[in-house]
Amino acid sequence: MDDARVWSFERDLWIGDAELYARSIDDACLMVLARPPFILTGAEAVDAVSATPRWLDVEFSEQRISRPQEGLLVAAYRVRASTPEVESFEAHCSTTYRRLAHEEWRVVQHQQAAAPLA
């Protein structure tokens, strides 16, 4: 997956609907979030997204991508996101993707660490 597709995929995970999220998150995924609930499995994350409003505005900075081996990539970045209910949320994030088939990728890890608002 090229860099532009990684960032597009990552953005879609923040703003996309629950169906897209369910297709993108691996059952074996583990997530550590900056807000409760703090630790989720893949199925728990999909359920949580289905029950919460999606982010409307998302901006990435400090973006980096690593490809430690074939079929595995890690994206790290700072995010600023908001909804009508949440004026601004900032975090440092990492997401690990695993390739299942030729161009089919799934999230197997995602972590957020709250960042001070800039």
In tens digits, the chain (118 residues) has pLDDT values of: 999 999 999 999 999 888 999 999 999 999 999 888 899 999 999 998 888 888 899 999 999 999 999 999 999 999 999 988 877 899 999 999 999 988 899 999 999 998 886 6
pTM above 0.85, yes or no: yes
Residue 95: C-alpha distances to residues 72, 74, 78, 84, 85 (Å): 11, 6, 12, 25, 25
Helical (H) or strand (E) element with 106: strand 104-114
Number of alpha carbons in the 13 Å side-chain half-sphere of residue 118: 10
Number of other CB atoms surrounding residue 25 within 10 Å: 23
Hey, what amino acid is at 73? L
- How much is the pLDDT for 51? 80
- How much is the pLDDT for 2? 93
- How much is the pLDDT for 118? 61
91 Cβ partners below 8 Å, 6+ apart?
A: 34, 78, 79, 112, 113, 114, 115
